[in-house]
Amino acid sequence: MKKILCVVETPYRATQEEQDDATLWLTHALKNAGGTMGIVLRGNAVNYAVGSQDPTGIVIGKLMIERPPFPQNDLLKMKNAGIPVHVVREDAEERGIALDSLVKDFTLVGRDELAALFSLYDQVWHW
Contact between residue 17 and residue 68 where contact means Cβ atoms under 8 Å apart: no
Supply the CATH number for residue 117's domain.
3.40.1260.10
Alpha helices (H) along the chain: 22-32, 71-80, 89-94, 114-118
Q: Please give the Cα distance from 27 to 33 (Å, whole number).
A: 10
CA nearest to 47, candidates 4, 103, 3: 103
Which residues constitute the domain of residue 20?
A: 3-126
What mean pLDDT do residues 34-41 have?
96
Count of domains observed in the chain: 1
State pLDDT tens for residues 93-115.
999 999 999 999 999 999 999 99
pLDDT per residue as tens digits for the range 42-95: 999 999 999 888 777 777 788 777 777 788 988 999 999 999 999 999 999 999
